[in-house]
Amino acid sequence: MDYVRWLRQHIGSEPIWLVYATALIVNEDGRILLQQRTDFEAWGLPGGVMEPGESLLQALHREVGEETGLAIRVERLIGLYTSPEFMVHYPNGDIVHPVTACFLARPRGGALRPDGQESRALQWFSLEELPSLPPWYAAMIADYRRNDPAAAFRSGAPGQPSRNPGETIRRLRARVGPATLVVPATSAVVFDAQGKILLQRRDDNGEWGLPGGIMEVGERIDQTLIREVAEETGLQVEPVRLVGLYTDPAWTFTYPNGDRSQPVVACFEARITGGRLQADGVESLEVEFFPPDQLPRPLDVRWRVRIEDAMARYPYAVVR
């Protein structure tokens, strides 16, 4: 929790997004592990905040180990839960818009024990005897019960930005300066009718890449994608599937002004529903559709990996 403490020292209790990794752990009897939390006294799933310098899966294993004593085997991403309907008001007054990745996992070792700091008690529950749960945990378990390999991302109300586009990150930077921030963001792989892929040439570095941008407090992350693609390319799109989550700290980068960000990127495949292709001249200098075998070069590896994953059409969302 060092990252959270550091952040709160700079911004106080005001609403901010934080990225969480949560485990829905199922044992051989089909029972789900719940922890009774020390902050709310409510039951929920184990997990916690991702720290700078670690990936989402590393955060998951660390948090589960700390809170439950268990080692786990991760099977798949159940879903991404980002609705403002799931905003958390902590007893100390802090307000968080969570960006939570929930993973299906199985125990593979360790000894079950509550840590006494975040977990007051731990218990295995059958699906028929679950206690009352906060709505975000209830949504995760409901998606688990659907048994769909495709990751969910539309749980909860879509919301709308509580601030003007770009204001969340600007307000943060005014308080913390160029320090490394874990930033939730989106990118879109948009195919046209001929299977060509939409790219934009960015204003900040002049390079080609996928359209997308940073999530604002108050909006669900698929709505971030819709808003950003419209702003940057002129096109209206609909996200149709979550291709993957890209969280490797190796992709931490420094902007030309010195600001450092570790992005947690939800990459979606999206289909065109309207609009007219046009660069905004602010974030996009050019926008163009390219055949997959004729993408511009050089094309950064972060874009190439997401495009390759989208074209592979896995039945599940990848996590890298």
The pLDDT value recorded for residue 163 is: 81
CATH of the domain at 110: 3.90.79.10
Q: Do 111 and 234 sit in the same domain of this protein?
A: no
Q: Tell whether 297 is covered by a domain.
A: yes
Q: Is residue 162 part of a domain?
A: no
Task: Of 268, 282, 195, 170, give the one whose Cα is nearest residue 234.
Answer: 282
Q: Tell me which residues of the chain have a pLDDT lower than 70.
A: 1
The CA distances from residue 231 to 44, 192, 269, 270, 301, in Å, are 38, 18, 17, 15, 24
Number of domains in the chain: 2
End-to-end alpha-carbon separation of the chain, Å?
23
Residue 138: CB partners within 8 Å, gap ≥ 6? Answer: none
Exposed / middle / buried, residue 41 (Cβ in 10 Å: 0-12, 13-18, 19+)? exposed
Residue 158 lies in a domain: no
* DSSP state letter for 199: E
**Residue spans of alpha helices (H) in the chain:** 2-11, 56-68, 135-146, 167-176, 221-233, 301-312
Determine the pLDDT at residue 99.
98
The pLDDT value recorded for residue 214 is: 97
Q: Where are the alpha helices (DSSP H) in 45-109?
A: 56-68
**Structural domain boundaries, residue 222:** 167-319
Report which of 72, 80, 94 is spatially closest to residue 19, judged by C-alpha positions: 80
Say what the pLDDT of residue 215 is.
97
- Report d(CA 124, CA 130) in Å as an integer: 9
pLDDT at 205: 83
User: Would you say 223 and 236 are in contact if contact means Cβ atoms under 8 Å apart?
Assistant: no
* Residue 48, beta-bridge partner list: 21
176 domain-assigned? yes
**pLDDT reported for residue 12:** 97
The 10s digit of each residue's pLDDT in 65-101 is: 999 999 999 999 999 999 999 999 999 999 999 999 9
Residue 318: name the closest of 55, 62, 32, 26 by CA: 55
- Considering the domain architecture, whether residues 128 and 213 belong to the same structural domain is answered as no
What tokens appear for 308 in the block? 């390759």
Report if pTM > 0.95: yes
Q: Is 7 helix (H, G, I), strand (E, B) or coil?
A: helix
Q: What is the pLDDT of residues 24-64, one digit of tens each?
A: 999 999 999 999 988 888 999 999 999 999 999 999 999 99
Cα–Cα distance list, 165 to 9, 141, 224, 285 (Å): 24, 32, 9, 19
Which residues lie closer than 8 Å to 304 by C-beta, 6 or more apart? 295
Same domain, 206 and 105: no
Q: Given the structure tokens 């184990």, which residue do they identify?
A: 46
What pLDDT score was predicted for residue 1?
60
Residue 152, domain member (yes or no): no
Residues 25 and 138 in one domain: yes
Question: Do both 86 and 175 map to the same domain?
Answer: no
